[in-house]
Amino acid sequence: MKKVIVMAIAALAIFSGCNKDNDTKTPVVSNAVYSGQLKVTFQGSVYTTENVVIETTPNTTANKNAMDIKMDKVKFVPQMPVSVDITIPAIEYTTSDDGTITFSGDNIIPTAMGGAYPAYTVTDLTGTIKDGKINMSLKFGSFPTSYSGEEQKAD
């Protein structure tokens, strides 16, 4: 009888150590809109554009840990004749215990104006999202680019 009680206590101890905490606060990328500053290095000069809007959305076609970043109506340098919407698809990300979303990617072909733009393949992409702020750096083709913005809450 003692053996059964000891086995029951041991089993209870083992199973109570397996914690299925469904209330964890690990964030996942959601639909969010940010407004901030874009910096692009072009022909040795740094061009800064304020109030650039980007959107993050989950990418459900890639895998559960991927997102798309869309830059809305952006002119990377003043010499650009038009503003374009450009999307960087399927960026992989991880989450940490403190709520930071860290993302990165390399050799990602962006899309704009209905097609792929391999001449501006995204490389060296790194970034974070935390506490309503996004920061990232990357290269569009050979052009070093960075972005820093804050989430815009719906009214």
pLDDT tens figures, 73-125 = 988 887 888 888 999 999 999 999 999 999 999 999 999 989 999 989 999 99
> Taking the CB of residue 55, how many other CB atoms lie within 10 A of it?
17
pTM, rounded to two decimals: 0.78
CATH architecture of 26-151: Beta Barrel (2.40)
Q: Where are the domains of the chain?
A: 26-151
> Taking the CB of residue 78, how many other CB atoms lie within 10 A of it?
8
pLDDT tens figures, 121-139 = 999 999 999 999 999 999 9
pLDDT tens figures, 35-76 = 999 999 999 999 999 999 999 999 888 657 899 999 999 888
In the prediction, which pLDDT does 46 show?
95
